[in-house]
């Protein structure tokens, strides 16, 4: 790796913080958008200071940490909770709605990679939303917990769909491989309950801080191990990274926030910004310029397909304003689009230009949807909190 091509990438990650911190709080952009824009500026399409290939390994680790942190935020038992079940119903509705819309469009015009685009329209960028929700103070409120549950399903569901329906293997073979991979993950997740590990923990405890950082090193081993396992079994690396986060959550006591802070420090301090800058450098501006209307169409489709079901499924649990906020948050997507479009391009089903427009549309959702949701919440925050305070997902009875 040449340091002269790495330097502009690191500089963008630092200058992004300066730019974001100087913006008015009400109109402050997510740093992900600024990182992408910086990547476009220094990349092959503009200044030619760097390229995605120059930071490939660091970018892959950044993607891994992004999905690891997203998976780490998920309660492994979320599927048994009302919020989790509502999230599954909303996501399945998104899949059906997206497929119907694309099939209808294919009657009058050529629509490439219908399966890949259908999955893309159903994704949620939970890794991007987590810091946004924390900044807004929503993580401990009912709306925030619904967003977390819906976002978890909106990441894990598309990852599983990618494993089953995209790639060179048949669906049945992919299903068998996925079951084997899931079995390995379940075994890893249950290890702390089957064995005391008292002696091992006793050895690692003194190495938890300072130059030791034992838990962080074990987390990195788990991440890289599941990344390697998922790749060797023919799955996209995001599956291994996301499940690594869920396994790690099952290992760590719920009240232990120390490891979470350390992982955020390593991830967001080093690797994740490089992933987003690299994604910006990979955007095909010429292809987008040839079809400037296509990203707008994709933004509308993402908002309708991924955000629309929230208006129906959560009508008994959230007031209308909060349902719109929930739809906007869950329709925020980007990292999954990068991974998914790359997979579809590699297998030859999705043109590079269409993939670039889809990724650019994802960047627009990260720019616009959280900002619109924040504006809606700010118009009458007191009323929203008072109306929804009794509808805590943990206390709801699943009436559906």
Is 268 within 8 Å of 261 (Cβ atoms)? no
Domain covering 3-388, topology: Na+/H+ antiporter like fold (1.20.1530)
221 — pLDDT class (breaks 50, 70, 90): confident
Residue 190 has pLDDT above 60, yes or no: yes
Q: Which of 100-114, 250-264, 379-393 has the lowest mean pLDDT?
A: 379-393
Quote the pLDDT of residue 169: 60
Residue 137 has pLDDT above 90, yes or no: no
Q: Terminus-to-terminus CA distance in the chain, angstroms?
A: 55
**Rounded (5°) CA angle 299-267-147:** 45
Domain residue spans of the chain: 3-388
Quote the pLDDT of residue 227: 84
Query: Per-residue DSSP letters for 1-29?
Result: --HHHHHHHHHHHHHHHHHHHTS-GGGPP
Residue 234 has pLDDT above 80, yes or no: no
Average pLDDT over residues 196-215: 58
Residues of the chain above pLDDT 70, percent: 85
Q: How far apart are CA 207 and CA 204, in angstroms?
A: 5
Residue 193 has pLDDT above 60, yes or no: no
Quote the pLDDT of residue 230: 80
Query: Per-residue DSSP letters for 92-157?
Result: HHHHHHHHHHHHHHHHHS----HHHHHHHHT---HHHHHHHHHHHT-TTSHHHHHHHHHHHHHHHH
pTM above 0.85, yes or no: no
Quote the pLDDT of residue 351: 86
Q: What is the pLDDT of residues 31-60, one digit of tens each?
A: 888 998 999 999 998 999 999 999 999 998
Is 167 within 8 Å of 234 (Cβ atoms)? yes
384 — pLDDT class (breaks 50, 70, 90): very low
Average pLDDT, rounded, for the chain? 82
Query: Per-residue DSSP letters for 263-305?
Result: HHHHIIIIIHHHHHHHHHHT--HHHHHHSTHHHHHHHHHHIII
Q: 163-199: string of b/e by CB count within 10 Å (b at 16+)?
A: bbebbebeeeebeebbeebeebbeebbeeeeeeeeee
């Amino acid at each position: 790796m040449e340091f002269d091509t790495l330097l502009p990438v690191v500089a963008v990650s630092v200058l992004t913080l300066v730019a974001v911190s100087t913006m008015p709080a009400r109109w402050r952009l997510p740093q992900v958008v600024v990182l992408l824009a910086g990547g476009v500026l220094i990349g092959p399409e503009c200044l030619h200071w760097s390229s995605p290939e120059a930071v490939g390994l660091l970018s892959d680790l950044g993607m891994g940490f992004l999905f690891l942190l997203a998976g780490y935020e998920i309660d492994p038992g979320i599927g048994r909770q009302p919020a989790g079940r509502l999230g599954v119903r909303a996501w399945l509705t998104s899949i059906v709605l997206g497929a119907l819309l694309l099939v209808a469009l294919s009657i009058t015009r050529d629509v490439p990679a219908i399966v890949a685009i259908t999955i893309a329209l159903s994704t949620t960028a939970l890794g991007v939303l987590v810091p946004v929700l924390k900044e807004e103070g929503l993580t401990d409120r009912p709306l925030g917990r619904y967003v977390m549950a819906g976002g978890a399903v909106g990441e894990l569901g598309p990852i599983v769909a990618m494993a089953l329906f995209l790639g060179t293997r048949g669906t049945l073979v992919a299903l068998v491989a996925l079951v084997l991979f899931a079995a390995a993950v379940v075994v890893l997740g249950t290890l702390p309950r089957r064995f005391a590990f008292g002696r091992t923990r006793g050895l690692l405890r003194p190495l938890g801080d300072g130059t030791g950082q034992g838990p962080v090193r074990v987390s990195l081993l788990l991440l890289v191990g599941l990344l390697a396992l998922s790749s060797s079994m023919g799955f996209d690396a995001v599956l291994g990274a996301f499940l690594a986060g869920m396994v790690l959550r099952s290992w760590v006591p719920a009240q232990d926030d120390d490891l979470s802070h350390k992982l955020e420090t390593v991830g967001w301090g080093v690797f994740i910004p490089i992933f987003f800058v690299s994604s910006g450098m990979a955007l095909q501006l010429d292809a987008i310029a040839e079809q400037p209307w296509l990203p707008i169409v994709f933004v509308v489709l993402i908002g309708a397909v991924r955000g629309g079901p929230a208006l129906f499924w959560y009508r008994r649990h959230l007031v209308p304003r909060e349902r719109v906020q929930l739809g906007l948050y869950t329709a925020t997507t980007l990292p999954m689009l990068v991974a998914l479009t790359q997979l579809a391009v590699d297998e030859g089903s999705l043109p590079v230009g269409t993939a670039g427009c889809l990724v650019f549309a994802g960047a627009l959702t990260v720019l616009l949807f959280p900002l619109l949701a924040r504006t809606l919440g700010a118009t009458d925050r007191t009323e929203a909190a008072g109306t929804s305070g009794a509808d805590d997902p943990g206390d709801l009875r699943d009436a559906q």
